[in-house]
Amino acid sequence: MNFEGQVAISTGAASGMGLLFAENFAALGGNVVMCDINEEVLLEKIAEINARKGGKAVAAVCDVRDYTQVCAARDKAVAEFGRIDVMANFAGGTAVRMCRVDKSAYPEFPDVPIEVYDWGIDVNLKGPFYFAHAVLSQMREQKSGLILNIGSITGAEGDGYGMDYPTSKAGLMYGLTKSIAQFGSKYGIRCVCVSPGPVLTRAAMANMKTPLGRAAEPQEIIDLCLFIASEKGQFINGENIMIDGGRNAMRRKI
């Protein structure tokens, strides 16, 4: 794969799969605008990427919940590189975990402060929606582009406690991805959602069962993302692709 001359924006890019995507994209010759709220770590990771051979990485400190900051990240990509070829929405997480909710104090869904779920929906759904709205004007002008959403097996399974996460991910997997594809196709713009099952970005993910008997390595998810973005993946559009070791095919037990 070769992404020379291409430009990607990656969110959640100071860590996890957002970082791994940026590292891979740059290693394959592409330029990348890395967005994250954690400026110190972000700048450290960008320095590491720029010390290697490949494309250039630049920082855009950005809270994906703030549309003004989202637009500033888009504008930085265009000012720096002149175009946006891939918008990769990696920022996200389950609010009850990210906000460190004490389940003994808030044992069930109605007990959790609504502000926690607001955070989850804002980051996991509104953030990708904001970035899509912001970058599509540039992609429409250049008549090309890919918006890459990141869903989750949880969007198909649900979660009776961390409800913000499956609600948001299902919105990405189906509503937003299909809608962007419907709008964008006439301008040469694609939208695809990649929905992982358990991924070893956290050790606890190894406890989620799959028919293959393991969780995914993060690189396996990124390899699929890169394929979709590459010349080999250009006919994939408007689709949610599960990469879950067969978890979605498992028999449900009630």
Q: 117, 130, 165, 187: which one is catalytic?
A: 165
Query: Is 165 annotated as catalytic?
Result: yes
Q: Which residues contact 107 (CB under 8 A, 6 or more apart)?
A: none
Residue whose C-alpha is closest to residue 82's, from 13, 10, 144, 11: 144
Residue 212 phi/psi, 5-degree rounding, is -80, -5
Q: What is the DSSP string of 206-251?
A: GGS--TTSSPBPHHHHHHHHHHHHSGGGTT--SEEEEESTTGGGSP
- At residue 165, the 3 state secondary structure works out as helix
The catalytic site residues sit at 165
